[in-house]
Amino acid sequence: MMNVGIIGAGHIAEKAARTLSAMDGMQCLAIGSRSEEKASAFAGRFGIPRAYGSYSALLEDPEIDLVYIATPHSCHFAQAREAILAGKPCLVEKSFMLNAMEAASILALAREKGVFIAEAMWTRYMPVRQMAREVLASGIIGKPTMLSASLSYNVSDKERVLQPSLGGGALLDLGVYLLNFVRMYCDSPIRDLTTSCIRAGSGVDASEVISFIHEDGTLSTVYSSAFSQGENTGVIAGTTGYLVFDDLINPTCLRICRKRHVVEKEIPVPEQITGFEYQFQACADAIRAGLFEPPQMPHAETLYIMHLMDRLRAEWGVSFA
């Protein structure tokens, strides 16, 4: 049994707890919150055996095998650092850190201490990723030449999304999935980048559009907003057809079209608990195999995306100060 300890009793921690309670070979052993009452209430709701009124107390529990960090982006660095120094393997929610400097420092510390760490970019761990790669390799849509995707939720009522000091903004919350989508399905390096953003009153990026031209001539265009409810799909267009992800971050099927809107084939995604189970399982497998990073989301890729996000914010003149 792999025992997971969750740090932060918020929104996504609930989904993680529900997922873990339905998995074989893994369980949520403890929840850590800044408030003892909140931790106890959370533990009660999800049948979690141990509730801690501080994150440090959870890190001291010798029976925790994996710490899942589910707090605002601005907290990830200090919490991951403390977990690594306590020798605890960590799965850190996206976006991994606030910027590439923090990410490089944490990855170096984890390497130095020989502690496993991974980014919880759940789309990287899902079976649909391999399924889509197989569709592309089969040649059914011809040569892929264009990627487009969007991800927008109206999360503008969330403090952690609005506040620069909490690492807010659409990019770290939503746009990060779009960058991962591009990197997962286009192997060609990015040559040119064009982007613009609309800022919220608080100064964070509220909505943005990003285009890449890749070295092999592929075009990727993605957009996201933290102020709109979008359709949230992804399309990979090739020379003879296109592949549709009906939901960018949690697809139910892949749809292959050869002519406009004529569906040639639909490939259903395997039944799942929530889709979060794959990232937890990947961590368990990697830790048991003695690895320090999961093959599905290597550290180099996490760092690459963090650098790309730094570059985008620099283009927009957006900072977390």
Ligand X SMILES: NC(=O)c1ccc[n+]([C@@H]2O[C@H](COP(=O)([O-])OP(=O)(O)OC[C@H]3O[C@@H](n4cnc5c(N)ncnc54)[C@H](OP(=O)(O)O)[C@@H]3O)[C@@H](O)[C@H]2O)c1
Task: Report the distance separating Cα 39 and Cα 30, nearest Å.
Answer: 9
Between 33 and 302, name the residue whose CB sits nearer to ligand X.
33
| Closest CB 95 distance from ligand X, rounded Å | 6
Q: Which of 10, 164 has the CB closer to ligand X?
A: 10
Rounded Cα distance between 212 and 189, Å, is 10
**Whole-number minimum distance, CB 280 to ligand X, in Å?**
12
Pick between residue 43 and residue 141 the one whose CB is nearest to ligand X.
43
**Where does the chain have alpha helices with state H?**
11-21, 36-46, 55-59, 73-85, 100-113, 127-138, 159-162, 170, 176-185, 277-288, 299-316
Q: Is 32 exposed, middle or buried (0-12, 13-18, 19+ CB in 10 A)?
A: buried
Phi, psi (5° rounding) for residue 204? -75, 160
CB of residue 316 to ligand X, shortest distance in Å: 19
Q: Measured from the CB atom, is 37 or 134 closer to ligand X?
A: 37
Up-side HSE of residue 202: CA atoms within 13 Å toward CB? 21
Nearer to ligand X, 71 or 180 (CB): 71
Rounded alpha-carbon distances, angstroms, from residue 116 to 82, 251, 290: 13, 29, 9
Amino acid identity for residue 258 in this structure: R
Least distance from C-beta 287 to ligand X, angstroms? 20
Task: Give 49's contacts (C-beta < 8 A, 6+ positions apart).
Answer: 29, 30, 43
Residue whose C-beta lies closest to ligand X: 10
Rounded CA gap, 34 and 9, in Å?
9
- Tell the smallest beta-carbon distance from residue 297 to ligand X (Å): 12
Q: Indicate the residue among 105 and 188 with the shorter CB distance to ligand X.
A: 105
Nearer to ligand X, 218 or 224 (CB): 224
| Tokens standing for residue 124 | 């990287």
Q: In whole angstroms, how close is the CB of 194 to ligand X at the nearest point?
A: 25
Quote the least distance from Cβ 165 to ligand X, whole Å.
Answer: 8
Chain residues binding ligand X by CB under 6 A are: 8-13, 33-35, 38, 70-73, 75, 93-94, 122, 160, 166, 173
